Amino acid sequence: MFHFEEEIDHVLRCPQCGEILGSGRVDKRFCSLACKNRWHNRQRLPNRDKEIQRVLRVLNRNREVLDKLLKLGLHCVDRPTLIHLGFNMNFFTSLQKSGRHQWIYTCLDIRYELTPTRIRNIAYLWEGAGSED
């Protein structure tokens, strides 16, 4: 799981800065907490970037679906249709309560509401509030 340099003479070095760690501290992998954090952050970067790219792809896909519906003049479709078009309801960029049981979602520059059966009031944010369906 953790990789750290161990030389033939069992001298342990901090995997971040290379400083030799004191003997008798075999449980200690890093010379300091700062090095430990730096090393773990560096290891995490590729996964973090991959995850960010994945989330951005989902959001862009969601926006494409909403944009397509709006260009067809549709402000409301049922959930199965939405899912069929490739929309992922778990991803959005903001969520705002607008009534007792009503929430307004946004995906980048497009807002919408989700009910148990459908998506409605889809509208571009820059065009103001959507028309009732």
Per CB under 5 A, residues contacting Zn ion are 14, 16-17, 19, 31, 35
> From CA 13, how far away is CA 6, in angstroms rounded?
7
CB of residue 36 vs Zn ion: minimum separation in angstroms?
8
In terms of CB distance, is 25 or 54 closer to Zn ion?
A: 25
In terms of CB distance, is 36 or 118 closer to Zn ion?
A: 36
CB of residue 5 vs Zn ion: minimum separation in angstroms?
11
In terms of CB distance, is 6 or 19 closer to Zn ion?
A: 19
Contacts for 45 with CB less than 8 Å, ≥ 6 apart: none
CB of residue 20 vs Zn ion: minimum separation in angstroms?
10
Contacts for 26 with CB less than 8 Å, ≥ 6 apart: 12
CB of residue 45 vs Zn ion: minimum separation in angstroms?
18
> From CA 6, how far away is CA 16, in angstroms rounded?
13
Please identify which residue in the block is written with the tokens 């490739």: 86
DSSP secondary structure, 41-89, as one string: HHHHHHHHHHHHHHHHHHHHHHHHHHHHHHHTT-S-EEHHHHHHTT--T
